A and B are shown apart, each in its own frame.
Chain A
Amino acid sequence: MEVKKENRGHASLRPAGMAVLAAGMVLLVASIAAAISAGAADIQFSAVWRAVFHYEPAREADRIIMSLRLPRELGAAVVGATLAVSGAIMQGMTRNPLADPGLLGLNAGASLGLACLFAFFPHASFGAKMLFSFIGAAAGAGIVFGLGSLKKGGLTPLRLTLAGAAVSALLTSLGEGIALYFKLSQDLAFWSAGGVSGTTWPQLELVLPVTAAGLFLAVLMGKGLTVLSFGEETAKGLGQRTFAVKTVLLLIVLILAGTAVSLAGQVAFAGLMVPHLARSLVGADYRWILPCSAVFGAVLLVLADTAARTINAPYETPVGAVVSLVGVPFFLYLARRGGKLR
């Protein structure tokens, strides 16, 4: 019954999805341009255009744009897109409207991984940081999902949230212990407060291919995810090998969320909010939800990052706090409505 309705809706959704996606792209480009021109050094739009397409190292504005602002905004866009897509996958996979990588132990695990790295290899490269974030995030998510699925009945939203809270508390504590003992709480805090201000081109060169691959894979898995989101029984009935699909999806989530965490620290709630927004625009088909989430997630983070560096200039407000400002009321609203937006 459910499936039939989706199929009927699907034909009419395709142009709508296209339109939403295109509008999102335009919005993304516009917000990146606006973000580059906003800030301490006032820069015209035309100068942004000129710097990107006719780079002239002698001009100061060009240097600011190319070495500081552009990588930063690209970093924000990457973080937003990866968080939103991993949130969308988690929500579809667990059928849990409140799933968010930040609430499920991924961030805490990554920060424990980084605490270990900072403590034992203080001068590690960015690549090593990424690797340790991945390992930590994988451990955190693995424990939460493992525990959540130990019991029959699987992962109810409440059980997943609780397991996430407890595992996060545990991993955070271990990380804090290491940080306090090695006297690096503040270094770690700066990292975990979240922020893309320090994004450099070499980092982006490392991150962009990984992200692109992850996002591409995610969109490829869109159909499988849609089927899975009807429920595991239905998916099996439709001939899906659910275990394989779930494993691949979980790997994608780890890659994406691990990248986001290693680049920007802890940014909660972006992965929660954006998929809901996308769903309300393009319907329940993950082939459209995933790309739309990526684009809107990127827009959200670019805007949030711009707000973060202009609200209280010259200080940087952590971008995670800005996102939470919108995200927490959204979360509370959803929790109140039992997970349904409308």
Chain B
Amino acid sequence: MKKRWEFYFAFSGAALLLAAVFIAGMASGYISLSPGRLLATLAGRGTDAENLILYEFRLPRMLVAFFAGIGFAVSGAVLQSMTHNPLADPGILGINSGAGLMVAVFISFFTSEPSSFLYILPVFALLGGIAAAVLIYVLSFKKGERIQPERMVLTGAGLSSAFSGAMIALASHFNRDQYDFIARWLAGTIWGDDWAFVLALLPWIAVLVPVVFFRSNTLDVLSLHEHAAVGLGVHIGRENLLLGFTAAALASVSVSVTGGIGFIGLMAPHIAKRLVGPRHRFFLPVAALLGAVLLLGADTIGRVILDPSGIPAGIVVTVIGAPYFLYLMVKN
């Protein structure tokens, strides 16, 4: 039962870290709440201004970052196990740029007023992300063969480049405001930061993440050798399809409110596996929390650094994540 203790230890560690990041995020920035005032406000004893800061400005944004971080991490974990590729990440596989392309399509054909499309935009991003995932799957599919992770990664890289090219082509007609919006979107800004986005994100996370958690044992088997999985009675085709769709949907939903953020799906599962070992039952929950910590932390850093405009969270994540990715690549 040593494993179980390790898991409790890592999980509560990650939860503590999350709380620390949350408090730090509150206490920093242009308008801030000190830990003491935060507690008082949460207890309902805050002033009007403090209530406004907490419940209207900060909390929704932080919850969006929290859920999206979970979405990226779980999606990355599933993709890695499914494709037997430790370097799989929704961003690297082209899901982000597919979503980005749809956002550009939407902006160029429908409207240029950011306020009016606030709530339809995520739907488009979602469609784009899922379409990209389907396209990658179809294009790297060969009849009578299992999907080869290498081919999938190469296809993803190529498609990602194609989507970005198409997006730039569309964006060349944009005016300055439209362009600034899409540039920030692509760089990964948590721009959906009011309660509507929290509510839009919540059902997906609440349904899809448990779907993955309940399949922990299946994922364990799938990440073994293919023959072993068949021998253990796993219906590979059906499970792959279901899990693949879940992973693509989680990543696309998250991307739709946070913009193009990569590398969380790569980093969080890796760190979690190092802490509690390769069994999904243990490392998935830890990975989910770590994903939330990473995104919340990156958003806070991006918000505080270089006041007042800040830098998008996606840039912070990439600056941390890309070297980590390269380190993994050289090591394995």
Which A residues fall within an 8 A CB radius of B? 98, 102-103, 147, 150-151, 157-159, 161-163, 165-167, 169-170, 173-174, 176-177, 179-181, 183, 185-186, 189-190, 192-193, 268-269, 315-318, 320-321, 324, 328, 331-332, 335-336
A183 contact set on B, CB distance < 8 A: 180
List residues of B (285-325) whose CB comes within 8 Å of A's CBs.
Answer: 306, 309, 311-312, 314-315, 318-319, 322-323, 325
Decide if B139 is an interface residue (CB 8 Å cutoff). Answer: yes
Task: For B180, give the chain A residue with the smallest CB separation.
Answer: A185
Contact B179 A162 (CB under 8 A): no
Contact B162 A324 (CB under 8 A): yes
A193 contact set on B, CB distance < 8 A: 168-169, 171-172
B329 contact set on A, CB distance < 8 A: 147, 159, 162-163, 166
As a 0/1 sequence over residues 116 to 156 of chain B, the CB contacts with chain A under 8 angstroms (1 = contact) are: 00000000000000000000000110100000001101110
Task: List 4 additional A-B contacts (Cβ < 8 Å) besides A169-B263, A318-B169.
Answer: A169-B322, A174-B315, A332-B159, A335-B140
Which B residues fall within an 8 A CB radius of A? 87, 91-92, 139-140, 142, 150-151, 153-155, 157-162, 165-166, 168-169, 171-174, 176, 179-180, 183-184, 186-187, 262-263, 306, 309, 311-312, 314-315, 318-319, 322-323, 325-326, 329-330
Residue of B161, B162, B165, B325 near A166 (CB, 8 A) is: B325
Q: Which of B160, B169, B183, B319 has the most CB of A within 10 A?
A: B169
A336 contact set on B, CB distance < 8 A: 139-140, 142, 151, 155
Residue of A102, A163, A176, A181 near B161 (CB, 8 A) is: A102
Contact B309 A181 (CB under 8 A): yes
A332 contact set on B, CB distance < 8 A: 139, 155, 158-159
With both chains docked as a complex, state the minimum distance between the C-beta of B186 and any C-beta of chain A, in angstroms. 7
A315 contact set on B, CB distance < 8 A: 172-173
Q: Which of A166, A169, A185, A193 has the most CB of B within 10 A?
A: A166
Contact A161 B319 (CB under 8 A): no
Q: Contacts A169-B262, A328-B159: A162 and B187 contacting too (C-beta < 8 A)?
A: no
Task: For B184, give the chain A residue with the smallest CB separation.
Answer: A180
Residue of B150, B155, B159, B319 near A170 (CB, 8 A) is: B319
Contact B311 A180 (CB under 8 A): yes
Task: For B322, give the chain A residue with the smallest CB separation.
Answer: A170
A151 contact set on B, CB distance < 8 A: 330
Contact A318 B330 (CB under 8 A): no
Task: For B152, give the chain A residue with the smallest CB separation.
Answer: A335
Contact B139 A173 (CB under 8 A): no
Counting residue pairs across A and B whose Cβ atoms lie within 8 Å, the total is: 137
B139 contact set on A, CB distance < 8 A: 332, 336
Q: Which of B161, B263, B325 has the most CB of A within 10 A?
A: B161
Q: Contacts A163-B329, A169-B322, A177-B311: A318 and B168 contacting too (C-beta < 8 A)?
A: yes
With both chains docked as a complex, state the minimum distance between the C-beta of B92 and any C-beta of chain A, in angstroms. 6
A321 contact set on B, CB distance < 8 A: 165-166, 168-169
With both chains docked as a complex, state the minimum distance between the C-beta of B322 and any C-beta of chain A, in angstroms. 4
Interchain CA distance A170-B325 in the complex, whole Å: 10
Q: Contacts A169-B322, A170-B322: A176 and B315 contacting too (C-beta < 8 A)?
A: yes
Contact B157 A165 (CB under 8 A): yes
Residue of A167, A192, A328 near B322 (CB, 8 A) is: A167
B168 contact set on A, CB distance < 8 A: 189, 192-193, 318, 320-321
Task: Provide the main secondary structure of the chain B interface.
Answer: helix
Task: For B175, give the chain A residue with the smallest CB separation.
Answer: A186
With both chains docked as a complex, state the minimum distance between the C-beta of B42 and any C-beta of chain A, in angstroms. 33
Interchain CA distance A151-B263 in the complex, whole Å: 22
With both chains docked as a complex, state the minimum distance between the C-beta of B329 and any C-beta of chain A, in angstroms. 6
A and B contact pairs by CB, cutoff 8 A, 5 listed? A169-B318, A176-B187, A180-B315, A185-B183, A336-B140
B176 contact set on A, CB distance < 8 A: 186
A318 contact set on B, CB distance < 8 A: 165, 168-169, 172
Interchain CA distance A193-B169 in the complex, whole Å: 7
Interchain CA distance A320-B322 in the complex, whole Å: 25
Interchain CA distance A102-B160 in the complex, whole Å: 13
Interchain CA distance A174-B311 in the complex, whole Å: 10
B92 contact set on A, CB distance < 8 A: 162, 165-166, 169
B326 contact set on A, CB distance < 8 A: 147, 163, 166-167
B262 contact set on A, CB distance < 8 A: 169
Interchain CA distance A315-B171 in the complex, whole Å: 12
Contact B157 A161 (CB under 8 A): yes
Q: Contacts A332-B155, A335-B154: A174 and B309 contacting too (C-beta < 8 A)?
A: no
Interchain CA distance A49-B91 in the complex, whole Å: 51
Interchain CA distance A56-B318 in the complex, whole Å: 55
Contact B162 A189 (CB under 8 A): no
B183 contact set on A, CB distance < 8 A: 176, 179-180, 185-186, 189
Q: Which of A157, A173, A328, A332 has the most CB of B within 10 A?
A: A173
Interchain CA distance A273-B173 in the complex, whole Å: 28
Contact B325 A331 (CB under 8 A): no
Interchain CA distance A162-B312 in the complex, whole Å: 24
With both chains docked as a complex, state the minimum distance between the C-beta of B54 and any C-beta of chain A, in angstroms. 28
Interchain CA distance A104-B57 in the complex, whole Å: 41
A173 contact set on B, CB distance < 8 A: 187, 314-315, 318-319, 322
B184 contact set on A, CB distance < 8 A: 180
Contact A268 B180 (CB under 8 A): no
A169 contact set on B, CB distance < 8 A: 91-92, 262-263, 318, 322
With both chains docked as a complex, state the minimum distance between the C-beta of A327 and any C-beta of chain B, in angstroms. 8
Contact B161 A177 (CB under 8 A): no
Contact A162 B172 (CB under 8 A): no
Residue of A147, A185, A324 near B179 (CB, 8 A) is: A185
Interchain CA distance A318-B169 in the complex, whole Å: 6
